[in-house]
Structure 1
Amino acid sequence: MVLAYLPSPSQGVWHLGPIPIRAYALCIIAGVFAGVWLTRRRWAARGGTPADISAISDIAVWAVPFGLLGGRLYHVITDPELYFTAGRQPIRALYIWDGGLGIPGAVALGALGAWLGCRRRGITLADFADAAAPGLVLAQAMGRWGNYFNQELFGTPTSLPWKLLIDPAHRPDDTPTVAFYHPTFLYECVWDLGVVALLLWLDRRYAMRRGRLFACYVLAYTAGRAWIEALRVDHANHFLGLRLNDWVSLALFLGAAAFLILSRRPAPADGAATVTPDDPGELNKDEKAPAP
């Protein structure tokens, strides 16, 4: 007897006449709005002017389309056989609503869009990245529910009480009779919400600036992605026994760790006052404080 499980949604698309309303898209849109809202609040708390606060939405207009394009490109480039081998339909590489957005590509190209937006508004990209980091991972947490509605990116079979029921049409070919799987979308959502809380605490405790809080986001997110990736059973290319996304996460984790180490200020000379590395309130009076 099944005592407990998470049901899958009966549908992920609704129609208003000829117009399809897709849950996957709604989750992404909701995540974008939540991320922009939190970023605006954080920019204001950091002392941003009203003009700068309003600029956050303008920057998002650049960052979001670039991020969606980058996420799709990453997915297609890392899994080209899903679209460009015999019997496949290459046109489906454009079907973003079917799922398939790679977070590393979305963040990378989204950062390019954010840089363009920041240049237009005279805002430093590092300052914007630190303000946006908690909102970015909040958007990722909400966007993961799109995978739930698509019944995709779940994990290995399990009998845990929070197991996820997957309809027969969406089950892996090698386990067609197994009904319950790890809800990895939920694991990543919960992990991401934990990262949001961690980043907000770090920023309150250490007032992290100059891109360091964004680096902490990369560290925390990729650490969680590593163990979640190990549970997933969706198609993925492997290299030396690991999924490609694991190698990307490892490279990003090491890069973020190196940035945090190298970006620390050198220790003060003998007799000089000790300055907390990330405390803008202790800057030398002749040094101009950075933008929020």
Structure 2
Amino acid sequence: MQFFPTSKIFLSFGSLHITWYAIFSLTGALVTYYLSQRTLKKMGYKESLGEDYFIMMLPIAYIGARIWYCLFEWKQYIADPISIFYVWEGGLAFHGGVIAAVIFGWFFLKKRNVDARRFADACAPNLLIGQAIGRWGNFVNQEAFGGVVSESFFNHFPAFIKEGMFIDGAYRMPTYLFEGVGNLIGFILIYFGFKKYGRKKRGDMAYAYIVWYGVVRFFVEGLRTDSLMMGPIRVAQLISICGIILGVLGLLGVYDKLFANIWPFKKVKPVVLFDLDGTLLDTEALIADSFRHVFAIYRPDYVLTTADLKGFLGPTLKESFEKYIPEVNSDELIAEYRKFNLAHHDEYVKPFYGVEEVLRTLKEEDYDIGVVSNKTVQTVTHGLEYCGLKDYFPVIVGCEQLNKVKPDPEGLIKACAELYRSIDNVVYVGDSVGDIKTCKNMSAFSVAASFDKTRREELQAAKPCVLITSMPQLLDILKEDHEWSDFTTL
């Protein structure tokens, strides 16, 4: 085993070589994978989705990149077909890899009922980082360079770049570096600028990537001396122009109108999930007296203020009790709380104005609906049955079914699974900051139910997608043209 036997080889095992070209290419792919997985996780997808896609896509993309290159350099390979497999010598065309990955992704995501535009938004901008890293493989291989330049051209470049660009007796323009820097700038602009100020719909991040890379590649390709050609036309420039046009049309929303009845552009009704306390049922007085009961037993010297009682709305019982009565086991406190709460439930609880009317309408219009609460299923079911609302909900998710309760999105994801729906179009209606955080933790569409004026400012500060002051307003929201995702979280 020998490290760095030549300038182009990273490691040798006898006749087996691992080249720097392979190292940079795979590093770029792995960085793209890592960044994409991180974003997909924020969107609520299982880790296995990204793993399965990238594991299967990577070899397909490499094959596509190689085939694309060989198609336009067929004269070079027709005399020695076996050299088609000599990928360590270079000869991968990025556009071919992208085309192969997109075609594969279309079938992969459709089979798994995942919105391709949402998935592309999570992954496409990260390609710019991967490409910037991968271009250093071109530097080591002394390929993808431009025309002859004077030695003074490199006066402000590091010495190793100057030395590496001395090819065939002349200094060459480092076009690989121009593209790499352009890609890094594009990533920063798209991820930190366009994401916040320019994106309006699903797919926009991917469209922005296509446009940006198309522009960068078009100009850089014009400087290169090793372009794949189709007659007098540089293939990469032609593809770049097509990409720019396709990306701009996407940003303008043309595909959403043109393919309105075709997946993934077809609009679907969202899953509508509800919190229980403070959203469907008015339980604030019951919650307050349940806490007063526990404090009277375990901390009688403490007088609960209105601010304290308001602060209990949202956090889990465990969090609240550990904050105020840390010296007592929280399970004991929770048991006492629930004992009082259940015993006095029917004295206090009533549905908010318009709740049953809204649920009836949603059922008539074939919406998939459910309840996700940090309470137990038994407690939720009892409250819904008492108020005559149980039959509206085919799915109820409670705390005992979950490894992590809100604000972790596990409950919302579980409800979608039980409704046989994807997590791409989810509306969650809740009355607390914790409910809004739950949505943001999977980029779901959050509806803040602000039936209490005293907490409205707090809810608005959490930046829900929309805020309603009465439940019937939800029906108007559902009639509007939304993407049913929270774009601020990606």
The TM-score bracket by the shorter chain reads 0.7 to 0.9
In structure 2, C-alpha distance between the alignment counterparts of 1:167 and 1:39, rounded to whole Å: 33
In structure 2, the residue matched to 1:16 is 13
In structure 2, the residue matched to 1:56 is 50
Residue 286 (1) aligns with residue 284 (2): no
Deviations 1:160-204 (A, max 9, x none): 123643588xx4xxxx432x1111111111111111112202113
In structure 1, the residue matched to 2:40 is 43
In structure 1, C-alpha distance between the alignment counterparts of 2:73 and 2:208, rounded to whole Å: 28
Structure 1 residue 117, shift from structure 2 partner: 3.2
Q: Is the 8 A contact 2:165 2:174 kept in 1?
A: no
Q: Is the 8 A contact 1:154 1:181 kept in 2?
A: yes
SS of 2:144 mapped into structure 1: coil
Partner letter of residue 477 of structure 2? K
Residue 78 (1) aligns with residue 104 (2): no
Going from structure 1 to structure 2, the CA distance change for 1:210 and 1:235 (only over 3 Å counts) comes to closer
Structure 1 residue 16, shift from structure 2 partner: 2.6
- Tell me the C-alpha RMSD between the 2 structures: 2.7
For residue 163 of structure 2, the aligned residue among 154, 162, 165 is 165
In structure 1, the residue matched to 2:26 is 29
Matches within 5 A, 1:232-247: 232-234=224-226, 236-239=228-231, 241-247=232-238
Structure 1 residue 122, shift from structure 2 partner: 3.2
Q: Is the 8 A contact 1:64 1:113 kept in 2?
A: no
Deviations 1:111-141 (A, max 9, x none): 1222333245432211111110122221111
SS of 1:122 mapped into structure 2: coil
In structure 2, the residue matched to 1:210 is 202
Structure 1 residue 58, shift from structure 2 partner: 1.4
For residue 65 of structure 1, the aligned residue among 46, 59, 83 is 59
Structure 1 residue 263, shift from structure 2 partner: 3.8
Q: Is the 8 A contact 2:139 2:164 kept in 1?
A: no
Q: Which has the higher contact order (CA 8 A, sep 6+)?
A: 1
Which deviates the most, 146-155 or 17-26?
Answer: 17-26
Partner letter of residue 100 of structure 2? L
Structure 1 residue 207, shift from structure 2 partner: 4.5
Deviations 1:230-273 (A, max 9, x none): 1111153254x44222112111211211222234889xxxxxxx
Partner letter of residue 229 of structure 2? N
In structure 2, the residue matched to 1:147 is 138
Matches within 5 A, 1:221-240: 221-234=213-226, 236-239=228-231
Q: Is the 8 A contact 2:190 2:209 kept in 1?
A: yes
Q: Is the 8 A contact 1:164 1:182 kept in 2?
A: no
Structure 1 residue 208, shift from structure 2 partner: 4.6
Going from structure 1 to structure 2, the CA distance change for 1:29 and 1:245 (only over 3 Å counts) comes to same
Q: Is the 8 A contact 2:227 2:234 kept in 1?
A: no
SS of 1:20 mapped into structure 2: strand
TM-score (norm 2): 0.48
For residue 130 of structure 1, the aligned residue among 111, 121, 129 is 121
In structure 2, C-alpha distance between the alignment counterparts of 1:198 and 1:143, rounded to whole Å: 20
Gap runs ≥5 in structure 2: 258-444, 446-464, 467-473
SS of 1:286 mapped into structure 2: helix
Structure 1 residue 22, shift from structure 2 partner: 1.1
Identity %: 26
Count of aligned residue pairs for this structure pair: 257
In structure 1, C-alpha distance between the alignment counterparts of 2:252 and 2:199, rounded to whole Å: 16
Structure 1 residue 157, shift from structure 2 partner: 1.2
Q: Is the 8 A contact 1:129 1:211 kept in 2?
A: yes
Going from structure 1 to structure 2, the CA distance change for 1:229 and 1:164 (only over 3 Å counts) comes to farther
Partner letter of residue 81 of structure 1? K
In structure 2, the residue matched to 1:93 is 84
In structure 1, the residue matched to 2:245 is 254
Q: Is the 8 A contact 2:227 2:236 kept in 1?
A: no
In structure 2, C-alpha distance between the alignment counterparts of 1:261 and 1:230, rounded to whole Å: 28
